[in-house]
Structure 1
Amino acid sequence: MIRVLHRWPGLLALVLVTVLALSGAALSIFPAAERLSAPQAEAGLRVAELATRIQVAYPGVEQIRRAPSGRITAYWFDQGTPGAAVIDPATGQGVASADPNQTVRWLTNLHRSLFLGDGGRIAMALGAAAMLVLSVSGVALVARRVGGWRHWFAPLRGPLAGRLHVEIARIAVLGLMLSSTTALWMTASTFDLLPDGGAVPTFPNEVSGEMGATISDLATLATTPVADLRELSFPYPDDPTDVFTLKTDHGTGYLDQGNGALLVWADLTGWDRVSETIYMLHTGQGAAMLGLVLGLMALGLPAMGATGVLIWLTGRRGRPRIRGNQSAARAETILLVGSEGGSTWGFAATLHAALTDAGQSVHTAPMSTFAPDRYARADRIIVLASTYGDGASPASANGFLDRLAALDHAPKAPLAVLGFGDRNFPAYCAFAKAVSAAAEAKGWSELIPFDTVDRQSPQDFVRWGRALGQAMGLDLELVHQPAVPATETLTLISRRDYGAEVQVPTAILRFALPRATLWKRLSGAGFARFNAGDLIGILPEGSPVPRLYSLASARRDGFVEIVVRKHPGGLGSSQLTALEPGERVAAFLRRNPGFQPGRGSAPLILIGAGTGIGPLAGFVRGNARRRPIHLFFGMRHPDSDFFYGEEMRAWQQEGRLSRLVTAVSRGGRPRYVQDAVRDDAAEVARLVRNGARVLVCGGRDMAAGVSDALVEILAPVGLTPAVLKAEGRYVEDVY
């Protein structure tokens, strides 16, 4: 429901909200500019002295106004001709025209009413209401995504558009809520929908009838600071019944023009002060710096609108449509999905359709929406969960485990958990296992035992579906065909072959960079934007399951490069290593933001063996800022598989690679990369103690050996790989 409240006001009112934000941001500049340019009254100057100076310069002065910026304007008649000027309070002389700024007037009319009068005001009020709904729902969605209010500024991952959208929202949302709320208040005031709480004193019935008192003799004006002045109106000439009208920050009063007596005074009411505060907050008049801050926040709204549209379009393409999705309160079966790339949603859609066809009412939603108190009619809860990186929760499951831990007791409806992953990776279904373990610890009853699906296997899904159907008393056949990602054609332009001497054929394959359309460049789709360490997927002939390979290049390098070892019987590796220059292969890009060197100048320790050198070489190649990089590389023999050997020497000369340490496992003294790390223990410990980030890429046995070596090396300095992982300073990409 929150997503719906956030999505549709944003899409339907995008143009209105953008106009409001841009015009408001432009208007926020002028109060600050006025404050800087207007001559300011000296400290302690009184209204009587200021008025005397102006009256000397302009004997026919009728009114003096002081704006919240401190700018003083005088209005007068000179032989029947009106005049006005911005006043220098030190001299009483005019120093600038008082004519309204035409740019400000034009922007104000656009901002308030789109030049359409009352109809335009109503339209812009609807835009402000949409902005408020977007802000409130956006706050709830951000809190849900990052796992609660305590993690409001937690690091983000995922596609660039989504990260930008949330990063801007986390900073700008309070300003947008303030601007939209005050805009609605001012619109309501314009249309007299709010009570008139202003205190205007009754005009005095009795005056002295005298005239001619000098302003300096008026005691009230002589004691009122100019800093408090809002407006001073002079009596009409030759009218002994008229009075001075004084308006200040404290109230309004009338002064006798003959003897200066204060005839009537009315203090500002609480309602007046609330209304003025809201006006100040919205316009920046009297709070120029706040206005500029709110204006800058408003500039984030068009950016959020653009990224929001991209997120919506990407979501429509990447997530299957769930037909007949019931509300959480009415559903008998609650189906919660934890997915990073979107493939698990496809399985959820198949399960949802099968259960619906069997007569069940089903509610399917992200795991991040987990709220047992809403599942009033639920007979069962089913969780389909993938794993992100090294056992972390996927994007749509953020906060699930925290919400489960916070419950006083487990939900009454029994639970079934199905994990999705790849057995080739050490953290196979680790997050789903964590969910199952947490549920067991909470005492949550089990519908069917925990199970897994390996590499999107339809057969595993069918087997699990039969077990689920049996537990529910249904004949459940889950026929699912994994969706094939949209691919692009890559043309091989060069290859370098290694490994023949040790009977391990390996190739560095370089493909031409596919052309990117304008839309792909804007949205970052396909190969329009990628980094070393991201993945490309190849769908081998005769297999529905793609094979993933780490990229050794970034978009800025101008080519797509991978390092592939031919595995006996491997469909993907056999197809790739058989390619010749000029031949083509269909591939798709998958982001891997969890395995990146990150920004900053802290040293990097890169550790890899065999084809694991691919992304590490890409990190070194992209090190244009000469960040200190220490590379540990394990190979079988330098004459057979010293991948990127020539480039590494050049990178060292260019300063991209600070140090290279190699380990050779086939030779007189076999030495593995973890041995090289141990032999350099003192330097490794020093680097880590000084903030170095460690990235490991290669086989799982190698990664385990490196982790064991680091446990020994870091123990004297009170650190462990687990601590570094928690700090985001130790990441792995293993297979």
Structure 2
Amino acid sequence: MLSAVPYLQASIILLAWLAFTFWCYRQPIKRWWQGTAATCTTLVAYASESGTAAALANQLQQQLQQQGKSSACLPLNQLQPQQLQQCRQLFIVASTYGDGEAPDNGRLFLPRLRQTQPLTQLRYAVLALGDRQYSQFCAFGMQLHQQLQQAGAQPLFDAITVHQQDPQALQHWQQQLHKQGIISQPGSSAAATPENEPINCSLLQRHWLNPGSPGAPVYQIDLQPQQPLQWQAGDIARLHINNQTRDYTIASLPAEGCLRLLVREHHHPSGQTGLGSGWLCHGLEAGQASHISLRSNPSFHAPEAERPLILIGNGTGLAGLRAHLQQRQQQGSSHNWLIYGERSPLHDGHWQQELQLWHHSGHLQQLDLAFSRHCADQPWPLLSGQLHHGYVQKVLQTQARELHHWVEQGAAIYLCGSRAGMATDVEQALSDILGPTRLQQLIEQGRFRRDVY
């Protein structure tokens, strides 16, 4: 009787060879794909934070391909001026992030557009996604629409705005495309989106992590989903409460047996506790359930396991950074560097024991901790890593040579934490150290990613 073992071994060797070959030729393949996109006269571009805009853009490209129309679909950041000059039809699906901001994979486009030659040959359409609870509803999509007109491009129809994936607005988009002869018949009013239906998650435990801190209380919230859920580092837990939603970056992985959050107690100027943080930090009782859905966040998903990773953040941004470190540990990836900032080393040492164990074991090759409220006469209670007085952007300046080395070794930089102050200052520090051109390259390559709030 013939043994199947040699055939199995041969199959494994063949798959390994194919994977190795693809890895070796990944850059030529990427350049080939970009060259193919450059020759297309019909382009579909997206600026996506949660993956919805990307899904809708890919849906449109599939419709065009089914009708035999050649097209390419790409992130808005990758759309170059020369491609715009050759393009005849451009369809943009763009989300607005936060209060009027562009998603990271689209924020390089507007400055390029303002410098491009007149686009009188171009006809375009914009689908703008947003949320009306923000004052700058669909602001980025509308800026794209206005700037394309100012560049001489002709709109196929007025920009269509969509509140929280409103099916009627999405159907209107499909109908307008059909009316203009772009697609033969309107498709589904919604693309497959990465959010799950809300399920009950009961409170397992809650820990106040920073008693005595000069900042607001921070709590570790461990939830037990009442049915199996799957997510990965970078994904979002969306709390549904009183017909509203609040988003929190997940700090754990499914293998840990709980859905862990890191939540800072928020207070309005009136003194009233924030809706989401008040419920999670005080209102929710042990065993009681909350409605939680998972939102995929592909713009903050992990890089390939063999790529070095620099994680930068502050405050409750440690949640997303911890999840990435957990995932890297599962993958056996130890080329990791954490730069993290808080207020007081005596009171704000969130998960410090775990971080120091990772540093001792070599999982964290480098650990830099910055504390803004440290006094010279206070003892440092930490036993591992490099300790700094000040903010994370100052650490970057101190470690500029090491930062250059990691980036030249192919490192990705992931930033998680507060948008106001920290994120802006860190990005400016990176630009000062690496140079604005190099930072822009990292953004285009997907090697600089943010999850800021």
- Structure 1 residues 504 and 341: alpha-carbon distance in aligned structure 2, compared to 1, 3 A threshold: closer
> Residue 572 of structure 1 aligns with which residue?
276
The separation in 1 between residues aligned to 2:304 and 2:133, in whole angstroms, is 31
The separation in 2 between residues aligned to 1:498 and 1:455, in whole angstroms, is 34
The code of the aligned residue for 2:447 comes to: R
- Structure 1 residues 339 and 695: alpha-carbon distance in aligned structure 2, compared to 1, 3 A threshold: closer
Of 205, 217, 236 in structure 2, the residue corresponding to residue 535 of structure 1 is 236
The code of the aligned residue for 1:684 comes to: L
The separation in 1 between residues aligned to 2:204 and 2:339, in whole angstroms, is 29
Tell me if 1:646 matches 2:353. yes
The separation in 2 between residues aligned to 1:730 and 1:384, in whole angstroms, is 22
The code of the aligned residue for 1:710 comes to: L
Q: Equivalent residue of 2:222, what SS? A: strand
Tell me if 1:392 matches 2:98. no
The separation in 2 between residues aligned to 1:431 and 1:369, in whole angstroms, is 22
Contact 2:94 2:140 in 1 (8 A): no
- Structure 1 residues 557 and 384: alpha-carbon distance in aligned structure 2, compared to 1, 3 A threshold: same
The separation in 2 between residues aligned to 1:439 and 1:369, in whole angstroms, is 26
The separation in 2 between residues aligned to 1:657 and 1:730, in whole angstroms, is 19
> Residue 150 of structure 1 aligns with which residue?
33
Of 176, 201, 208 in structure 2, the residue corresponding to residue 497 of structure 1 is 208
> Residue 557 of structure 1 aligns with which residue?
256
Q: Equivalent residue of 1:633, what SS? A: strand
> Residue 222 of structure 2 aligns with which residue?
510
TM-score (ref. length: structure 2): 0.62
Deviation at 1:589, TM superposition (A): 0.8
> Residue 304 of structure 2 aligns with which residue?
599
Deviation at 1:433, TM superposition (A): 3.2
The code of the aligned residue for 1:713 comes to: I
- Structure 1 residues 406 and 600: alpha-carbon distance in aligned structure 2, compared to 1, 3 A threshold: farther
Contact 2:200 2:290 in 1 (8 A): yes
Deviation at 1:677, TM superposition (A): 1.4
Larger Rg over CA atoms: 1
> Residue 438 of structure 1 aligns with which residue?
148
Of 626, 641, 661 in structure 1, the residue corresponding to residue 368 of structure 2 is 661
The separation in 1 between residues aligned to 2:289 and 2:395, in whole angstroms, is 39
Q: Equivalent residue of 1:641, what SS? A: coil
The separation in 2 between residues aligned to 1:152 and 1:554, in whole angstroms, is 38
Tell me if 1:686 matches 2:405. yes
The separation in 2 between residues aligned to 1:150 and 1:548, in whole angstroms, is 35
- Structure 1 residues 734 and 341: alpha-carbon distance in aligned structure 2, compared to 1, 3 A threshold: closer
The code of the aligned residue for 1:611 comes to: T
Of 372, 393, 398 in structure 2, the residue corresponding to residue 674 of structure 1 is 393
Deviation at 1:558, TM superposition (A): 2.2
Structure 1 stretches of 5 or more lacking a match? 1-28, 30-145, 155-335, 349-364, 375-380, 394-400, 462-482, 517-526
- Structure 1 residues 407 and 430: alpha-carbon distance in aligned structure 2, compared to 1, 3 A threshold: same
- Structure 1 residues 596 and 384: alpha-carbon distance in aligned structure 2, compared to 1, 3 A threshold: closer
- Structure 1 residues 732 and 446: alpha-carbon distance in aligned structure 2, compared to 1, 3 A threshold: same
Deviation at 1:639, TM superposition (A): 2.7
What's the CA shift string for 1:683-706, capped at 9, x where partnerless? Answer: 111111221111100111311111
Contact 2:49 2:103 in 1 (8 A): no
- Structure 1 residues 410 and 586: alpha-carbon distance in aligned structure 2, compared to 1, 3 A threshold: same
Q: Equivalent residue of 1:539, what SS? A: strand
Contact 1:550 1:614 in 2 (8 A): yes
Which of the two has greater helix per residue? 1
The code of the aligned residue for 1:564 comes to: V
Contact 1:392 1:431 in 2 (8 A): no
The separation in 1 between residues aligned to 2:33 and 2:395, in whole angstroms, is 41
Tell me if 1:547 matches 2:266. no
What's the CA shift string for 1:339-367, capped at 9, x where partnerless? Answer: 8869789xx9xxxxxxxxxxxxxxxx837
Q: How does 1:417-456 map to 2 (within 5 A)?
A: 418-421=128-131, 430=140, 433-444=143-154
> Residue 385 of structure 2 aligns with which residue?
none
The code of the aligned residue for 1:694 comes to: I
Deviation at 1:672, TM superposition (A): 1.0
Contact 2:307 2:410 in 1 (8 A): yes
The separation in 2 between residues aligned to 1:595 and 1:391, in whole angstroms, is 10
What's the CA shift string for 1:67-121, capped at 9, x where partnerless? Answer: xxxxxxxxxxxxxxxxxxxxxxxxxxxxxxxxxxxxxxxxxxxxxxxxxxxxxxx
> Residue 35 of structure 1 aligns with which residue?
none
Tell me if 1:581 matches 2:300. no
Contact 1:418 1:453 in 2 (8 A): yes
The separation in 2 between residues aligned to 1:588 and 1:436, in whole angstroms, is 35
Q: Equivalent residue of 1:622, what SS? A: helix
> Residue 619 of structure 1 aligns with which residue?
324
- Structure 1 residues 690 and 410: alpha-carbon distance in aligned structure 2, compared to 1, 3 A threshold: closer
Tell me if 1:732 matches 2:431. no
The code of the aligned residue for 1:734 comes to: V
> Residue 429 of structure 2 aligns with which residue?
709
Structure 2 stretches of 5 or more lacking a match? 1-6, 8-28, 38-44, 70-89, 107-112, 170-192, 269-273, 377-388
Which structure has the higher relative contact order (CA within 8 Å, separation 6+)?
2
Aligned length: 340
> Residue 20 of structure 2 aligns with which residue?
none
The separation in 2 between residues aligned to 1:426 and 1:661, in whole angstroms, is 36
Contact 2:251 2:259 in 1 (8 A): yes
The separation in 2 between residues aligned to 1:510 and 1:682, in whole angstroms, is 39
C-alpha RMSD over aligned residues: 4.7
Contact 1:337 1:367 in 2 (8 A): no
The code of the aligned residue for 1:682 comes to: R
Contact 2:225 2:259 in 1 (8 A): yes
Deviation at 1:720, TM superposition (A): 2.6
The code of the aligned residue for 2:197 comes to: A
- Structure 1 residues 560 and 500: alpha-carbon distance in aligned structure 2, compared to 1, 3 A threshold: same
The code of the aligned residue for 2:318 comes to: I
> Residue 250 of structure 1 aligns with which residue?
none
Percent identity between matched residues is 27
Deviation at 1:407, TM superposition (A): 8.2
The separation in 2 between residues aligned to 1:576 and 1:651, in whole angstroms, is 29
Q: Equivalent residue of 1:683, what SS? A: helix
- Structure 1 residues 584 and 650: alpha-carbon distance in aligned structure 2, compared to 1, 3 A threshold: same
Contact 1:663 1:673 in 2 (8 A): yes
Q: How does 1:33-182 map to 2 (within 5 A)?
A: 150-151=33-34
Contact 2:129 2:164 in 1 (8 A): no
Contact 1:344 1:420 in 2 (8 A): no
The code of the aligned residue for 1:494 comes to: Q
Tell me if 1:366 matches 2:60. yes
The separation in 1 between residues aligned to 2:373 and 2:145, in whole angstroms, is 43
TM-score (ref. length: structure 1): 0.40
- Structure 1 residues 639 and 429: alpha-carbon distance in aligned structure 2, compared to 1, 3 A threshold: farther
Q: How does 1:281-300 map to 2 (within 5 A)?
A: none
Deviation at 1:406, TM superposition (A): 12
> Residue 80 of structure 1 aligns with which residue?
none
> Residue 342 of structure 2 aligns with which residue?
635
The code of the aligned residue for 2:33 comes to: R
- Structure 1 residues 685 and 148: alpha-carbon distance in aligned structure 2, compared to 1, 3 A threshold: closer
Contact 1:340 1:386 in 2 (8 A): yes
- Structure 1 residues 503 and 422: alpha-carbon distance in aligned structure 2, compared to 1, 3 A threshold: farther
The separation in 1 between residues aligned to 2:428 and 2:434, in whole angstroms, is 10
The separation in 2 between residues aligned to 1:581 and 1:419, in whole angstroms, is 37
